[in-house]
């Protein structure tokens, strides 16, 4: 089930570097946030609110993109009909040649 090809070792190495990158990004962002707070450019009451607000708005943005993508998903009804015809033809052909095609559940 698991294929440990010659890529096995480099895959884990890439995962390690990826996590290090993400942690570095997180540390940089928190350092920026704490420096902004210390130099009192932002009122103290916003310590927890603003990062949480950005996280919530990021989640909302993702949800919005999913919704918009769903609404704009292009369906091809013409191709769907042609595909059904192809399936029927293939089933008949295979039945003639003796392959066992189960019926649709």
Partner 1 sequence: MELADRAVGLLLSVISLSIFTYYTFWVIILPFVDSDHFVHKYFLPQEYAILIPVYAGVGLICFLSVFIGYVMLKSKKKKA
63 binds partner 1 (CB under 8 A): yes
Q: Which stretch binds partner 1 (CB under 8 A): 8-16, 18-26, 56-64, 91-99?
A: 56-64
Between 61 and 93, whose beta carbon lies closer to partner 1?
Answer: 61
Q: What is the 3-state secondary structure (H, E, C) of the chain?
A: CCCCCCCHHHHHHHHHHHHHHHHHHHHHHHHHHHHHHHCCCCCHHHCCHHHHHHHHHHHHHHHHHHHHHHHCCCCCHHHHHHHHHHHHHHHHHHHHCCCCCCCCC
68 binds partner 1 (CB under 8 A): yes
Binding mask of the shown chain, residues 33 to 52, with x at each position contacting partner 1 by CB under 8 A:
------------x--xxx-x
The site for partner 1 (CB under 8 A) is made up of 1, 45, 48-50, 52-53, 55-57, 60-61, 63-64, 66-73, 75
């Amino acid at each position: 089930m698991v294929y440990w090809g010659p890529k096995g070792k480099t895959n884990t190495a890439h995962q390690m570097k990826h996590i290090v990158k993400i942690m570095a990004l997180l540390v940089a962002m928190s350092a920026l946030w704490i420096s902004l707070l210390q130099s009192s450019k932002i009122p103290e009451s916003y310590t927890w609110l603003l990062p949480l607000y950005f996280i919530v708005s990021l989640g909302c943005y993702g949800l919005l993109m999913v919704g918009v993508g769903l609404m704009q998903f292009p369906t091809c009804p013409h191709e769907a009909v042609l595909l059904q015809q192809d399936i029927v033809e293939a089933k008949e052909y295979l039945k003639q040649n003796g392959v066992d095609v189960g019926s649709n559940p």
